[in-house]
Amino acid sequence: MHTTTQTPERERYLLDHPTMTDILRDLRIPKTDPGAGDHAPSFDLPTTDGGRITSESIRREGKPVLLVFGSLTCPVTESAAGGLNDLHARYGDRVRFVMVNVREAHPGSTTGQPRDAEQKRANAIALRAHHRFAFEVAVDDIEGTLHRAFGPRPSSAYLLDPSGEILFRAHWSNTTDAIGNALESIVSGTRPARTDVHQTLRAMSAMTGHADAAFEAAGRGAMLDTWKAAPPFAAMIVMSRMFSFLPRGRRGAPTILAMVVLVVAAVWLFLAAAA
């Protein structure tokens, strides 16, 4: 019978119930994490179509690579998918696109946190099918070795040259305008003018309207965990449903505005009652 060794490091990585500490950690990139000018860690990963992608195969092919980390239950990945598909249609003949399936950002009853390679591969296949990615989806190992080497944020993106040097890093994969600018520079034969993009508020706004879809894929428990770990974000998700008549990508700004109005009104009523 197949058994899987449990280690403290492994269990810290495979989160069943994300906490506020985990979410806050995702909002920053430590200076020790790889960035522009560094070389990516060597890797050798299977893909969902039965192939492999390795550091050596990238060198042999001689094409730049856009390496994106993500998962089926990640609202950032959910909000990035359309833009990534558009970028692939534009640049996929000159840049190799690879989505690396990592740990589930918000596991639930339908898509749980995988505990073995077979489960993780199944989640990766579901991820590719859900977003209709025309490009490769690779599967990190169950310990998240490659993910942790880059920094285990839920969905970041890295543009590598064939030697493995990092030319550009996006903290959030849904900042696809910035990623597109970096890709345009690379295919034009120049280095990206901006080598590191955060845009956290913009990324959070963009993912708000897509969170319901990610949590639906996760199943029961994912939304409850979010209420426990990050009530403001959970409230934003619920409030975004008021704007379901808008495209998902355009629901963030009115949701944030509505929340600000409610907070201001609540403060005003409190002060008026206390006067």
Average pLDDT score, the chain? 94
* pLDDT tens digit sequence for 81-138: 999 999 999 999 999 999 999 999 999 999 999 999 999 999 999 999 999 999 999 9
* pLDDT tens digit sequence for 213-248: 999 999 999 999 999 999 999 999 999 999 999 999
* pLDDT tens digit sequence for 123-178: 999 999 999 999 999 999 999 999 999 999 999 999 999 999 999 999 999 999 99
Domain-embedded: residue 261? no
2 pLDDT above the threshold of 50: no
Domain-embedded: residue 153? yes
- pLDDT score recorded for residue 7: 60
Domain-embedded: residue 63? yes
- pLDDT score recorded for residue 275: 74
Smallest CA-to-CA distance from 86 within 194, 176, 201 is with 176
| 10 CB-contact burial (10 Å; exposed 0-12 / middle 13-18 / buried 19+) | middle
- pLDDT score recorded for residue 1: 36
Domain-embedded: residue 210? no
Domain-embedded: residue 224? no
Structure confidence at residue 9 as a pLDDT band (50, 70, 90): low
Cβ distance 169 to 215 under 8 Å? Answer: no
Structure confidence at residue 271 as a pLDDT band (50, 70, 90): confident
* pLDDT tens digit sequence for 45-90: 999 999 999 999 999 999 999 999 999 999 999 999 999 999 999 9
Domain-embedded: residue 272? no
Average pLDDT over residues 256-270: 88
User: Tell me, what CATH number does 122's domain have?
Assistant: 3.40.30.10
| Tally of structural domains, the chain | 1
φ/ψ of residue 172, rounded to 5: -125, 130
Prediction pTM value:
0.92
37 pLDDT above the threshold of 50: yes
Measured between alpha carbons, how far is 215 from 78 in angstroms, rounded to an integer? 10
- pLDDT score recorded for residue 3: 43
Domain-embedded: residue 88? yes
132: left (phi over 0), alpha (psi -120 to 50) or beta: left
Domain interval for residue 57: 8-199
What are 45's two structure tokens? 């990963």
Q: Which residues contact 74 (CB under 8 A, 6 or more apart)?
A: 104, 105, 106, 154, 155, 214
Domain-embedded: residue 161? yes
